[in-house]
Amino acid sequence: MTRAPWPTPRSVRQATELHAVLTASGRLLNQPSAAHLLNSLASCISPGDPLHLRYALSLFDRMPCSTFLFDTALRACFRASSGPEHPFLLYRRMRRGGVPPDAFTFHFLFKCCSRGRAHVLLCRMLHAACFRTMLPSAVPLIASPLIHMYAELGLPGDARRAFDEASVKDAVAWTTVISGLAKTGLLDDARRLLAQAPARNVVAWTGLISAYSRAGRAADAVDCFNRMLSDGIAPDEVTVIGVLSACAQLKDLDFGCSLHMLVGERRMLVSDRLVVALIDMYAKCGNIGRAREVFDALGRGRGPQPWNAMIDGYCKVGHVDIARSLFDQMEDHDIITFNSLITGYIHGGRLREALLLFTKMRRHGLRADNFTMVGLLTASASLGALPQGRALHACIEQRLVERDVYLGTALLDMYMKCGRVEEATVAFKQMSVRDVHTWSAMIGGLAFNGMGMAALEHFFWMKCDGFHANSVTYIAVLTACSHSCLLDEGRLYFDEMRLVHNIRPQIEHYGCMIDLLGRSGLLDEAMDIVRTMPMQPNAVIWGSILSACRVHKNVDLARNAANHLLKLEPAEDAVYVQMYNIYIDSRQWEDASKIRRLMEERGVKKTAGYSSIAVAGRVHKFIVGDRSHPRIMEIIVMMEEIRCRLKSVGYSPITSQITVDVDEEEKEQALLAHSEKLAIAFGLISLAPNLPVHIIKNLRVCEDCHSAIKLISRLWNREIIVRDRSRVAFRS
């Protein structure tokens, strides 16, 4: 009587039961039975399942050797997403045991190498072994995984050679090489190869469209999509996702809406990824209401991805409170959810809420990633929030995030922006790995803090460490020379950049040199650069000339610079104010009056100067004469105390800074009410005595405030740092 075949297990549990039956019956060493068991077990292994893979390999070790069993063990490694170690060991055992490999052996070896990112040399050795042992009939089975392996390893040249050497090129091989070239950035080569393909399918078109979208070539992605439709090939869900990404980049709402209609007309499967792509497209195209409709209709009952997309969309348009309400409705939060909302709070200047959310994320058991930490450090730097920055530094020291070069650079930049050069230097020295961006941040930070010579010393050490300066590095170096009036050094490094390193100067480099020459009083030389530079001067360059003209009292050149500025930025109030002050300084009253009338005729309003200070993670903004702050009465009392104590040590306000025709007492009151003094008064009553008072101002700090702040710092024995748009203007 013929024995019935063994049942085929549908799960690992059933496979273990069959294993027990075969062991008890003594048939485990029977070749067909062993092959049936191992083959069934390999089919039941899930991706990322090392436990069951070890079980399958231990079972394989007790079985008689054969090519089929080795191939089955390799298939188990591939299904378990194993690294290349197990497959290489199996192949070595196979060769040492004299078991001949077949096409399936190399098929699964190449697939495992693709997924496990094996060493390039080992992969090429496998390719050579395959080339020596395989017959031409095996090419269709091994060509595609071989091409895919090289593409995944980032070797498009090897992938293309493997394709060219294949004696038989089926549709899968064409699709694999086109997608591989596109994925590695050779988009034009992939496009030409697609045009040569005997048959173009949706997978090849989709790979190219997605690659164009990822590379920022959105117009090419849309063109590919239109050509695909012209070929009569119907798009699938993955195609539409790639084209929606291109629409979002182009902000082409009409085309995005037509794609949305196409999804409905073709009754495509609406996956989480497609819902996310639709929400992202509508949000980036400026139709946040339509994005919300898609979310409400398709995204609410799904996983966190659609929720994350909607929260991110609201944050990007500044509706952070609506994003927070969605966040609070979510059941499952992931790291992306927290990152999106934290970034939204940061962009809105709400650092306190961002830090509280960061704390909540840690309570949820989610490990902060470097993206979160770099964003929070950058926010702390821009707001001058030193206590919060130090708290984040403590988290880094506790190894709550993996320390890398980007995080270290953000940390030293935060300390530099907060005026803590010593702590920034310690953070820099503690970095085990530095790159050119780290050195550039260090040099730029020293320049920002007015330490030009120290910046140039670090530039020297950078070159001694073997790093090659790039364009950004030279901007930092020339800024250091400009802020510290290091004329000879600035000329030297500008020439070194051009003549030694062959770096073509950009407008920022020319701007630094013009600013340096202007500060040094060499206005004619500065104008020579303006006239001979290969690009048109922008508003920043003419602004530098205008500022230098006020310092060095060159009214004619100031008038010329102002004319150019008004052509570039006719509504910019700073030009009118600067020219008005130049005319007042040179006692040209009639010209000053003309400037005032011109401002009134053109409806130009002077930008209000404001100063901000971060206290307990919340940013407080002060404007001259503003009494809207909830603690304004305490601030007024402190301002009066400041006035009295300054007067008691002989301080005399520099009333010449006020050009309006009022009496001396009113001028003194106007100077006292400057926004930076209001912010300092608030800092003195709000911050603990051991904390620095860090002020950020949108305009330049006037001479009177500079003198007064120096005395306030001494009288209250407090560290005070005042930072304007381009540098630390004052540090006690």
**What is the model's pLDDT at position 2?**
35
pLDDT score of 617 more than 60: yes
8, 230, 237, 529, 673 from 533: Cα distances, Å: 78, 49, 51, 6, 43
Mean pLDDT of 614-627: 81
Please count the residues of the chain.
Answer: 732
The three-state DSSP-derived secondary structure of 367-388 is CCCHHHHHHHHHHHHHHCCHHH
Mean pLDDT of 435-448: 94
Q: Which of 229-233, 524-528, 625-629 has the lowest mean pLDDT?
A: 625-629
**What is the model's pLDDT at position 1?**
31
Give dist(CA 155, CA 178) in Å, integer: 13
Helix (H) or strand (E) holding 611: strand 610-615
**What is the model's pLDDT at position 3?**
45
Q: Flag whether 392 is in a domain.
A: no
Q: Around 534, how many Cα atoms within 13 Å sit in the side-chain half-sphere?
A: 4
Per residue in 564-597, pLDDT tens? 888 888 888 888 888 888 888 788 888 888 888 8
With a pLDDT cut of 90, the percent of the chain lying above it is: 25
Q: Flag whether 666 is in a domain.
A: yes
Which residue range is the domain that position 646 belongs to? 611-731
Tokens, residue 677:
């003094």
Mean pLDDT of 135-144: 72
- pLDDT band at residue 4, thresholds of 50, 70 and 90? very low
**What is the model's pLDDT at position 7?**
67
- Which residue would you say has higher pLDDT here, 638 or 134? 638
pLDDT score of 236 more than 50: yes
Residue tagged 């949706």 (tokens): 202
**What is the model's pLDDT at position 671?**
67
- pLDDT band at residue 161, thresholds of 50, 70 and 90? confident
Mean pLDDT of 328-353: 86
Q: Flag whether 287 is in a domain.
A: no
| Total structural domains within the chain | 1
Q: Flag whether 91 is in a domain.
A: no
Mean pLDDT of 497-521: 92
Helices (H), 231-331: 237-250, 253-265, 272-284, 288-294, 304-316, 320-329
Per residue in 251-303, pLDDT tens? 989 988 998 998 888 888 888 889 999 999 999 998 999 999 988 888 777 78
Helices (H), 7-119: 12-25, 31-44, 50-61, 67-79, 85-96, 103-116
Q: Which residues contact 673 (CB under 8 A, 6 or more apart)?
A: 624, 625, 639
Q: Flag whether 515 is in a domain.
A: no
Mean pLDDT of 430-435: 91
pLDDT score of 730 more than 80: no
- Which residue would you say has higher pLDDT here, 87 or 229? 229
Q: Flag whether 622 is in a domain.
A: yes
The 3-state DSSP class for residue 61 equals: helix
Handedness of CA 314, 315, 319, 320 (dihedral sign): positive
